[in-house]
Amino acid sequence: MPLTRAKITALGCYTPPKLLTNADLEKMVDTSDTWIRERTGILERHIVEKGVATSDLALEACRRVLEQRSLRPTEIEAILVATVTPDTFFPATACNLQHKLGAVGAWGFDISAACSGFLFALATGAQFIATGTHKKVLVVGADVMSSIINYEDRATCVIFGDGAGAVLLEPVEPGEGDVGILDFLHEVDGSGGCFLQMPAGGSRLPASIETVRRKLHYVHQDGPQVFKYAVRKMYEVGQAILERNSLTPADLDVFIPHQANRRIIDATVERMGLRPEQVLINIDRYGNTTAATIPLATADAIQQGKLKKGGLALFAAAGAGYTVGAVLVRWAY
Ligand code: UT7
């Protein structure tokens, strides 16, 4: 059976209105606006009010997608949610989202691949389109990182923010040309798991008074280790996916990297030999929103005119797991 290529036909994003600025963080931990700007490139991030969950952010992003395509929720066939901050361990955030959206008849599930989550979900969703079994798949990247951040740990609390992004995948029509999701290249390396994790709350270390006392339900990170992995692997997968498609960095209209640290992006861009105007950076306004960074950055790329119909985009992300991924897309609308 010939495979059908998937294309992105709509994109919606949502960030909660509340801002957490570097000045706010200066009052909370021993840090400075200068350190945060120089070491991460972040100026502010959005965080939720108490009680707001990942599916609430995802819902707003998905509503914007449906609005763009003038679709009814019941036309959605599957919902994939990439997140490391699900509303609950179970049921899946995809189920909560399906219910709130009113996507009656859809199925779905969550994907846990941290910062690479949106790209892993995009590749997964594209397979359902490829086989011809599905015609409308929602792919969501959403995280409420503020729910698992220790706001007494200056090494992690300055980095992360909350947000959501969603895209609709539909089949490329015959005669539409070389558009859509052209290729993906993903890897995991579990040997790096210890360098970025939430140690407790799972089956190995179930929640207890002791795990809470030891602050094991928060993000624990060896920043420099993850930094080195991210720079090396985002470059490697980026180069490899271009090479196997007989492309070079110069062919790209836009490189949309995961927004974890401005210095990671700059180092990757320099190694790939990309021109600054080919790169989308918006970490200054959002921080690291984990699974939401790529859709949030793609929305900005469209808004800034860097990504237009027919434009070639390379998405790349790396993070906890370790996980790393690259997706090559020719923009279809
Ligand atoms: O998306 C998920 C994947 N995550 C990442 O990609 C994150 C990758 N890592 C990073 O972005 C960086 O490693 C960090 C931003 C987390 C840290 O920056 P760094 O330049 O690697 O700093 P460091 O951890 O090597 O620490 C350097 C110094 C230390 O002080 P001493 O030991 O030299 O006195 C830290 O205690 O900076 C100190 N420091 C801070 N100082 C002020 C760490 N965090 C802060 C802070 N404010 N917020």
pLDDT at position 2, please?
A: 72
Distance, C-alpha 242 to centroid of its chain: 21
pLDDT higher than 90, residue 138: yes
- Mean pLDDT value of segment 41-45: 98
- Mean pLDDT value of segment 220-226: 97
Ligand 1 centroid–CA 316 distance in Å is 22
The answer to whether 288 is a known catalytic residue is yes
Which is the catalytic residue, given 46, 134, 186, 258? 258
For 180-330, give the CATH class: alpha beta
Q: Is the CB of 40 under 6 A from ligand 1?
A: yes
- Mean pLDDT value of segment 131-154: 98
Sequence spans of domains, the chain: 6-171, 180-330
| CATH number 3.40.47.10 is the correct assignment for the domain at 6-171 | yes
pLDDT higher than 70, residue 1: no
Same fold across 6-171 and 180-330: yes
- Mean pLDDT value of segment 247-263: 98
pLDDT higher than 90, residue 330: yes
Q: Of all residues in the chain, what percent carry a pLDDT higher than 90?
A: 98
Ligand 1 centroid–CA 105 distance in Å is 46
Ligand 1: nearest atom to the Cα of 31: 47
For the record, the structure tokens of 224 come out as 């420099």
Q: Is the CB of 265 under 6 A from ligand 1?
A: no
Q: Output the residue whose Cα is nearest ligand 1's atom 45.
A: 155
Ligand 1 centroid–CA 160 distance in Å is 13
Ligand 1: nearest atom to the Cα of 158: 48
pLDDT at position 270, please?
A: 97
The answer to whether 115 is a known catalytic residue is yes
Which is the catalytic residue, given 46, 115, 134, 186? 115
The answer to whether 261 is a known catalytic residue is no
